[in-house]
A and B are shown apart, each in its own frame.
Chain A
């Protein structure tokens, strides 16, 4: 027997609360956690939660895990429906944002892993070396990138938050030549 719309709405509200509350310093919830709370029918509840989130100006994002093990291993999280530029605040500083933009641009076209030296070489004329290291470790800690030995990989949070195609277009549309002053 199907669930009543009232019951589904109640579950969707509960799911929204779960998605909003940060655990372990990371936003979002894994599919298996949702399954534990809402049973195997959690994708249906997610559909309703998605509509409810849109009413609040939020978008539901699904980030598949690296091995594509299916929805139970994906991360479900909420992002703002407006860009950082429209919202006027960012979780990153100017330098962190520049470093992430560079990594995403170099990964464009499906490069899964970038040599750390290549990233540093492209960034070093723009940002001091010590600041690049600081930004990389912050981006890694926040889940935007993965640092492995001598390589850098784009991670789940970048996939959830950044529209790479839009970034690529914007990089061609943004007027270069702005001040290259480094900010903290």
Chain B
């Protein structure tokens, strides 16, 4: 019986100490919380009502004490933070750590935004009135099979093409589209040969902004300016 009384008084002492710390603002670390918890755990199996009641009061006091300890540490930490030290700290932090810190300190605003049928219709009209940002993307056609030209045959083909073009441009500049071949493969082949003739200085190309088209004509004396151009093949 004396042992039970002693244990209950021990718990009441904890309650009194915590009350005193709370009232007078003492050091919350005066009580060794893990030690007290160990002590309470020894009577875990007890079914003595009075002891259980005093256990409950002691645990409640300990939780208040832990809260006070947290506030005490927070206050000490805040007292050590100066604007300069905080600036140095954030300069060393990466963007994810900065965001993580904000997320712990931010409680987002809660609100409900509503709309009505008239505003939805206005939105639809506005959306429909917008021009597309770029032309609708089309699936590109499959790339044509490569054209293989044997070297001996190429020289022969090029000679024939040169004679043909020379005849065409003898009267002046002609549109590039006039020398188009039949079919894509033939067209690419003719453009390839034209590029050869231009490189050799046999023909020249210039862009006519009025017609928005390249023109092919006789090479000027001294040759033109070498340049790469892109010609679209439909």
B residues in contact with A25, CB < 8 Å: 113
Instruction: Evaluate contact between A169 and B81: CB separation under 8 angstroms.
Output: yes
- How long is the Cα–Cα vector from A87 to B77 in the complex, in angstroms? 26
Q: At the interface with chain A, which of B3-11, B30-38, B104-112, B151-159?
A: B104-112
- How long is the Cα–Cα vector from A91 to B107 in the complex, in angstroms? 10
Instruction: Evaluate contact between B94 and A106: CB separation under 8 angstroms.
Output: no
Instruction: Evaluate contact between B83 and A111: CB separation under 8 angstroms.
Output: yes
Instruction: Evaluate contact between B112 and A20: CB separation under 8 angstroms.
Output: yes
Given contacts A98-B102, A102-B98, are A77 and B109 in contact (CB under 8 A)?
Answer: yes
Instruction: Evaluate contact between A27 and B109: CB separation under 8 angstroms.
Output: yes
Instruction: Evaluate contact between B105 and A79: CB separation under 8 angstroms.
Output: no
Q: Tell me if B96 is interfacial: C-beta within 8 Å of chain A.
A: yes
Q: Tell me if A100 is interfacial: C-beta within 8 Å of chain B.
A: yes
Majority DSSP secondary structure for residues of A touching B = mixed
Point out the residue from A20, A160, A162, A169 that lies within 8 Å of B77, measured CB to CB: A169
Q: Tell me if A40 is interfacial: C-beta within 8 Å of chain B.
A: no
B139-177 vs A: 1/0 string, CB under 8 Å? 000000000000000000000000000000000000000
Instruction: Evaluate contact between A127 and B95: CB separation under 8 angstroms.
Output: yes
- How long is the Cα–Cα vector from A59 to B109 in the complex, in angstroms? 9
Q: Tell me if A105 is interfacial: C-beta within 8 Å of chain B.
A: yes
A residues in contact with B87, CB < 8 Å: 105-106, 122
- How long is the Cα–Cα vector from A79 to B109 in the complex, in angstroms? 4
Q: Tell me if B101 is interfacial: C-beta within 8 Å of chain A.
A: yes
Instruction: Evaluate contact between B100 and A78: CB separation under 8 angstroms.
Output: no
Residue of A nearest to B91 (CB): A122
Q: Tell me if A5 is interfacial: C-beta within 8 Å of chain B.
A: no
Q: Tell me if B125 is interfacial: C-beta within 8 Å of chain A.
A: no
- How long is the Cα–Cα vector from A127 to B90 in the complex, in angstroms? 13
A81-93 vs B: 1/0 string, CB under 8 Å? 1111101011100
- How long is the Cα–Cα vector from A160 to B110 in the complex, in angstroms? 11
Q: Tell me if A68 is interfacial: C-beta within 8 Å of chain B.
A: no
A residues in contact with B110, CB < 8 Å: 20, 27, 58, 78-80
- How long is the Cα–Cα vector from A126 to B89 in the complex, in angstroms? 14
Interface core residue of A89, A101, A170, A172 (most chain B CB under 10 Å): A101
Instruction: Evaluate contact between B103 and A172: CB separation under 8 angstroms.
Output: no
Within 8 A of A (CB), among B105-145: 105-114
- How long is the Cα–Cα vector from A100 to B98 in the complex, in angstroms? 9
Given contacts A78-B109, A80-B107, A95-B95, are A170 and B114 in contact (CB under 8 A)?
Answer: no
A residues in contact with B46, CB < 8 Å: none
Question: Given A79-B109, A174-B100, 17 more contacts at CB 8 Å?
Answer: A77-B111, A84-B108, A85-B103, A95-B95, A97-B103, A105-B87, A105-B90, A108-B83, A127-B95, A161-B108, A170-B105, A171-B86, A171-B90, A176-B94, A178-B94, A180-B95, A182-B95
List 8 A–B pairs whose Cβ atoms lie within 8 Å, in order of A's numbering. A21-B112, A28-B109, A78-B109, A90-B106, A102-B98, A105-B86, A122-B90, A170-B104
